[in-house]
Chains A and B, each alone.
Chain A
Amino acid sequence: MSNTMESPKPRINSSMLTQYISKPVCFVGHVETVHNTGKSFSVADGEGRSVCVELNDPLEEELSGIVEVIGMVSNKGAIRATTFNMLRDEKGIPFDLELYNEAVKVIHDFPQHYPFDMAASR
């Protein structure tokens, strides 16, 4: 799991999960439900589809709003999170998830203009 911190983690939305199985990704979404054990929760992306996020350690605090999850995609289509952080509203401007989704799509549609992978592989 530690290798997730060494390589670049492409931002994806729910429709791209299948292409990144067993790869580290960064997923941003709105927290929908939290399992009562606190070991998993579901997040919905800009398109409305939810993804299950599994944690190693149970949650310690209330989770709500927009979160950014970094982890590996399991072969079941869930994300094993290594770390996550809540995105707070800055200066009263809410995080526009749809806009973020559009940006993610653009990044994936035009990889030649967004060479994130290049930066990583030396």
Chain B
Amino acid sequence: MSVKLTQGAIEALFNKSMVQSPILQVLNIREYPAGKQGVNKYRLNLSDGERSLSYFLLGTHLNHLRESELLEPNCVCVLNKTMFSNLASRRVVVVLDMDVLQSAAETGGRIGNPTQLTDQTPDQQQAEPSTSRSDEIPGPSGCGPGGGGNYGMKTSPMKAPAPRMASPMQASPMKAPGMVSPMQASPMKAHGMASPMKTPGMASPMQASPMKAPGMASPRMASPMKAPGMASPMQASPMKAPGMASPMQASPLKAHGMASPRMTSPMTPSPMKGSGMASPSSSPSKSPTRMTPIYQLSPYLSNWTIKARVINKSDIRNWSNARGEGKVFDFEVVDETGEIKITAFNEEVDKFFSLVEQDRVYLISKGTVKLANKQFTSLKNDYAITLSASSRIVPCDDDRGVPNLLCQFVPISQLEDKDPDAVVDVIGVCEEAEDVSLITTKAGKQLSKRALTLTDSSGKMVTLTLWGDQAQKFNASCHPVVAVRKARVSTFGGRSLMVFLNSTLIVNPDIPEAFALRDWYNQVGHALCSQSLTEVLSASGDFRTNWKTLRDVKTEQLGHGEKADYFSCVATVVFCRKENCLYRACPGGSCHKKVHEQDDGRYRCDKCGKDYPNFNYRFMLSVNLADFGDNMWATCFQETAETLLGISAEQLGHLKDTDENAFDNVFDKIYFSTHVFRNRVKLENFNDECRVKVTVMEVLPADQRQHSRRLLNAIRELAAPLIDIDA
């Protein structure tokens, strides 16, 4: 069972021609340990039996293959997906997906007698990069980190577990797709390399130079340091052109311990020749430039360019807080390797807001990559980009290879199993759309809202809620196919979907799932009486209310979750606790805390820390509500109690002290009166005891007609599945 290696694959890959799932043997694996915040990087030397190439980088998401020891020297694997990359004229193949076909043990030894391919000479064996490298460094340019002395570049770098570092020169990668030349430098740093260290990163780059001119390098080095983003690809140039490159090396250094040298590939001095590197870096916006795949973006990388599609552009938000005010907008971009969020503030908002359009592909460069604030994004990326004054965004018409959407659609029927607040992607046909309704938020702002009913081939329907502009602009004619990315599942009315900050809504998207859904709908779906996961709400008006019966409160265990549940019900008041319905509250401003009577007749408020000569009566009324199935205790505070009783707290307080009959009458009037109660229910822990507490948020007169219609609709809905559809 020797698996046959794909002969000629190595040479083909080296020449950047695609090979379909080549089967190769792993000859060697080099590990580049992770820096402070990174992950390990592995470089593979793969062979096809004839030639071998050690410029294969294992995508970090495949690290587990190595770490679990599946991937070992001599094992045979198949590369399912690769990507070409260029680091200062060094060709690198990034392995995005691979499988191990045969373990090292099964394979036995090395298959064939492959010769190593390098950039320079195909036959040159680059087994030990470090040493050979040093020789190449012409070093005159004194790039030398100037430290000199112990530089011993040649070998010193070696100290570091990552000898590769030597090559740092090649560094130019800066621009290169995530190659992060910095690596080069960093390892050095890590190992206390090179004294030159005057400028932290410097070390390695120097290769030879250090030796020569210790003093020299430093100045040079210094400069780059200042300008991290220095394009000068440096490659070899440093060697040649003193003022050049070094920055490169330097910059990486600055970027702290990248630790994963990655590419460094000790190989070849060829990088040296790459002075041409400079150009690419200076104009990152040109398509031919090496693109950095999004998944390789990190703060340690400078001079990157990504080519990606905008999939979610937010509106401009203005804010004003203690530190000042400003505006911000953000958008998410995606390429075939991943997604990342890009934010622009203040001036950049003005610059880029009109330029960036959803669904278009752009070349973006010179943004600042930093750790993502997970609160604001749900993207699968540890980093996020912030645009700065030097950022560039150029539209790119060539969108080959850039996916439209990265969506993993969940069938509607599976939404029932999703936890509330889970973020999902859903696609469905918009069966019905309510009209735009205006609601007032707790902050007092007016917000438009629209509910759509989506149905899909799973036979279930769900309600999707849109807000603001999206709600108003949505065109529901002709049953459009609606795809929503990152909608939040909520337990409102059973299960429903909400669009929130990070969601993307696309109407009639250009993806195969949309076409399939359209076909299904035209043939089958439109006639199907799908069952809605969202409780059917009667026509406009009480759209947002969650109607429950009192029995449901117990059976559905409302309020038992982490967050309080809100529901509305039609119920009758059967009893009131008259005795303790009022309490004495602090008269100062908005403080409603209970005050205590002091000996001198004044009333002290603990919260305000003051005492007052008087107090305000405030309501805290316990009522027992009942309907056909159950009864429950609920608490009405000031506003709701006043609405229910039809009398103010002050007046009732007065009656209590003066006319007891009148006081009782107030309550007698409401006994057995039916109202609509909008309540908040929550399980609360009170001295080790867990109790479900219900607070009445609003009391509304019972609209029996509306209630009846609601019940009739519910009856019909529930009965629908029993009716033979084919009839």
Contacts and interface: CB of A to CB of B under 8 A. Distances in A.
A99 B715 CA distance: 13
Contacts of A109: 719
B712 interface: yes
A47 to B, nearest CB: 15
Interface string B672-714: 0000000000000000000000000000000011001100100
Interface in A82-122: 93, 96, 99, 102-103, 106, 109-110
B719 A99 contact: no
Contacts of A96: 705, 708
Closest 7 CB pairs of A and B: A102-B712, A96-B705, A99-B708, A106-B715, A99-B705, A106-B712, A99-B709
A103 B719 CA distance: 14
Interface of A: 93, 96, 99, 102-103, 106, 109-110
Contact of B705 (A93, A106, A110): A93
B708 A103 contact: yes
Contacts of B704: 93
Nearest to A106: B715
Contacts of A110: 715, 719
Contacts of B715: 106, 110
B522 to A, nearest CB: 32
Contacts of A93: 704-705
Contacts of A106: 712, 715
A103 B712 contact: yes
Nearest to A90: B704
Given A99-B708, A103-B712, A106-B712, 14 more contacts: A93-B704, A93-B705, A96-B705, A96-B708, A99-B705, A99-B709, A99-B712, A102-B708, A102-B712, A103-B708, A106-B715, A109-B719, A110-B715, A110-B719
A103 B709 CA distance: 9
A96 B704 CA distance: 10
Interface string B710-727: 001001000100000000
17 contacts: A93-B704, A93-B705, A96-B705, A96-B708, A99-B705, A99-B708, A99-B709, A99-B712, A102-B708, A102-B712, A103-B708, A103-B712, A106-B712, A106-B715, A109-B719, A110-B715, A110-B719
A94 B709 CA distance: 15
Nearest to B712: A102
A17 to B, nearest CB: 22
Contacts of B708: 96, 99, 102-103
Contacts of A103: 708, 712
A96 B709 CA distance: 11
Contacts of A102: 708, 712
A109 B715 CA distance: 11
Contacts of B705: 93, 96, 99
A96 to B, nearest CB: 5
B674 to A, nearest CB: 12
Interface in B523-573: none
B606 to A, nearest CB: 46
Interface in B291-338: none
B193 to A, nearest CB: 84
